Structure 1
Amino acid sequence: MSEIGSGMTQHRTRTGLAVPELGFGTAQFGNLFRETSDEDSAAAVESAWESGIRYFDTAPHYGLGLSERRLGAALAGLPRDEYVLSTKVGKLLVEDANGVSRMDDEGFVVETTLRRRWDYSRDGVLRSLEGSLERLGVDRVDIVYLHDPDDHWAEASTTGFAALAELRDQGVVGAIGAGMNQSAMLARFVRETDVDLVMCAGRYTLLEQGAEDDLLPAALERGVGVVAAGVYNSGLLSRPRPPADAQYDYADAPAEMLDRANRIADVCEAHGLTLPEVATVFARRHPAVVSTVLGLRTPEQVAGAIDRFAVEVPDALWRDLESAGLLRRTAAAES
């Protein structure tokens, strides 16, 4: 594989796949919460490429295939060996039995005849990946994650994982894992299966560090890379000051979370930095974290992400947050 991620650090998985330290999450390409245009999506990828971003993440779930189609169109013509591409399986897209088209009810502004069906069987995994390849317009993806198997541990950890392991062993994919909005089950995947990577969304952020109780120590012990996603906690940390109607875990933020975010912002401002700048930098302090994936929608957001990712946060800021009880004192992050 050619050099990936101009000027960016890369971390190699146990299989040898090089994963850039900054990734582009494309849920917004699936019209998450509001519509995005094809033009903005293409321009965002072009801007990311020019900035040196070489890791792109998507999923069938994002807009019922719309994200994958838009990402594939935006990547078309770019050298395939120069970027890492990940998608997910477990939420198989199937046609509505009656051919009825309706608006999606899971946060994506799309109208389609496609529906999601939980399926971690071998056939479901293979069919899902085949559909993703077709929508993306590529002959391979580099990383495949089991997507949100919260209520499906038995099937996902057996038939689902076995199907991905088979693809990895055949050299069809470079690395396999699971992606979730919780850390406890991800820790089980790390301890009880042979995953290479896990994507943890929202559980290791400047706002909350629950993944330190289970996932991160297990990942360090087993040599499994952690990809940190959802670092703004659904938007709560995405502005210098969170608005009263800020979202947390895809719902209205509780008052105590709003208060905590504002107190963290106070400390950031005292050091001349903003809440989103420090939130962007935070996750990669931990040695288990190999990449940070940021959800982006437009070229302007890409430029902002690049700037925030390059910010240098003084050790004094972390110490002040710890002293105020707003950040755990973590020996692993200091190593």
Structure 2
Amino acid sequence: MPDNGSDRVRLADSSVRVSRLGLGCAPLANMYDVLSDEAASATVDAAWAGGVRYFDTAPHYGLGVSERRLGAALAGRPRAEYAISTKVGRLLVADPDGAGRSDDGFLVPADHRRVWDFSADGVRRSLEGSLHRLGVDRVDLVLLHDPEFHEQAAIDEGYPALQDLREQGVIGAIGAGSTQWEVLHRFVTRTDLDAVMIAGRYTLLEQPALDALLPACSTRGVAVLNAGVYNSGLLAQDAPDPSSRYDYRPVPAHLLARAQAIAAVCARHQTTLPAAALAFAAAHPAVACLVVGAATPGQAARNAALVAAPPAPAELWSDLFAEGLLRPNAPVPADGCPDG
């Protein structure tokens, strides 16, 4: 990893370049906790100050709240200096009857509902809505969001629609994003994606994407945007505890124990679990960018500082291998450079 997150990497053969550290913007949409517009904007400002020039959002995040807050926070900054990705697959449909309720998982009024739609028309309508909420005339990367739920439609209809938009120059790059590495592997081998966003499946805690997805991306030149590298917060703490979340749910006991064991090894080598988690997640050569969420300016600043910090000693990784806490074929930071 470079000295800061602003070093740019091109996504495959596209014109889109992203910083090595990106901001995941789901937390800006009142995910679990209510934020003010001002607090959300301050978080984006802190990420920017830390070198972040890539921002990922989606209509799904707070029923459009994330997109609106991100667009407002970036307004006035030179458009050529940053990249935005958003997602398609869920259309937002007005639902006046839900205005008095809170959206599940995001503490916002449920005045819209999500409708799965990977059709060509649905993709275009979703993108139009996102551009309006973001207040921009283009987005750099559009990701098919959780296509495993409607895989055939996403491949047969959604992907060709994005391909047309890419050829027309309306968008810069196409990707797919999911927590399921298997569906992303199928997209990589069956389509001409520029990027995949894998969430939570290539982390210091677990590496199921290592055997098939990441090698396929390397072979085909598909950039990997590694998201969820803290496993929804479990690896974001120096000392994980039972209140930690894993995949947005309470952490299972066996995974908590594993995370605590990794944290203990980190402490022996004068580093922290979050620092090691970021360094490891960036070390695979297929990984172009880490996409890390933040709900506060302090979290955004800490992530940027950890990315820029000197690497952990090689003995850390040796001990994790020796204790069976890391797969023996996993690339790790080497020769003092966290890029591996």
Q: Place the TM-score, normalised by the shorter chain, in its bin.
A: over 0.9
Give the letter for the 2:45 counterpart: E
Give the letter for the 1:130 counterpart: E
Kept in 1: contact 2:40–2:69 (CA 8 A): yes
- Secondary structure at the aligned position of 1:262 is classed as helix
In the other structure, the counterpart of 1:289 is 287
Shift of 1:7: 6.7
Structural RMSD (CA): 1.5
Higher relative contact order (CA 8 A, sep 6+): 2
In 2, Cα distance between equivalents of 1:51 and 1:328: 31
Q: State the percentage of identical aligned residues.
A: 54
Give the letter for the 1:287 counterpart: P
In the other structure, the counterpart of 1:326 is 325
Please list, as runs of the form range in 1=range in 2, the aligned pairs for 1:23-102 lying within 5 A after superposition.
Answer: 23-96=22-95, 99-102=97-100
In 1, Cα distance between equivalents of 2:81 and 2:7: 14
Give the letter for the 2:242 counterpart: A
- Cα 1:79–1:6 shift into 2, 3 Å: farther
In 2, Cα distance between equivalents of 1:99 and 1:107: 19
In the other structure, the counterpart of 1:139 is 137
- Secondary structure at the aligned position of 1:71 is classed as helix
- Secondary structure at the aligned position of 1:85 is classed as strand
Kept in 2: contact 1:60–1:93 (CA 8 A): yes
Shift of 1:244: 1.3
In the other structure, the counterpart of 1:256 is 254
Kept in 2: contact 1:103–1:109 (CA 8 A): no
- Cα 1:332–1:244 shift into 2, 3 Å: closer
Kept in 1: contact 2:4–2:308 (CA 8 A): no
Of 209, 212, 220, which residue of structure 2 is paired with 1:211?
A: 209
Give the letter for the 2:81 counterpart: E
In 1, Cα distance between equivalents of 2:314 and 2:192: 35
Kept in 2: contact 1:24–1:53 (CA 8 A): yes
Give the letter for the 1:122 counterpart: A
- Secondary structure at the aligned position of 2:327 is classed as coil
Unaligned runs of 5+ in 2: 335-339
In the other structure, the counterpart of 2:108 is 110
Cα deviation per residue 1:205-252 (whole Å; 9 max; x = unaligned)?
000000002210110111100000001101111111111121111111
In the other structure, the counterpart of 2:19 is 20
Please list, as runs of the form range in 1=range in 2, the aligned pairs for 1:172-321 lying within 5 A after superposition.
Answer: 172-311=170-309, 312-321=311-320
Cα deviation per residue 1:142-163 (whole Å; 9 max; x = unaligned)?
0000011122110011101011
The worse-fitting range, judged by mean Cα deviation, of 102-111 and 147-156 is 102-111
In 1, Cα distance between equivalents of 2:193 and 2:156: 12
What is the TM-score normalised by the length of structure 1? 0.95
- Secondary structure at the aligned position of 2:235 is classed as coil
- Cα 1:331–1:231 shift into 2, 3 Å: closer
In 2, Cα distance between equivalents of 1:228 and 1:143: 15
In 2, Cα distance between equivalents of 1:108 and 1:46: 22
What is the TM-score normalised by the length of structure 2? 0.94
Kept in 1: contact 2:58–2:86 (CA 8 A): yes
Please list, as runs of the form range in 1=range in 2, the aligned pairs for 1:156-171 lying within 5 A after superposition.
Answer: 156-171=154-169
In 2, Cα distance between equivalents of 1:260 and 1:300: 27
Kept in 1: contact 2:91–2:116 (CA 8 A): yes
The worse-fitting range, judged by mean Cα deviation, of 321-330 and 62-71 is 321-330
- Secondary structure at the aligned position of 2:275 is classed as helix
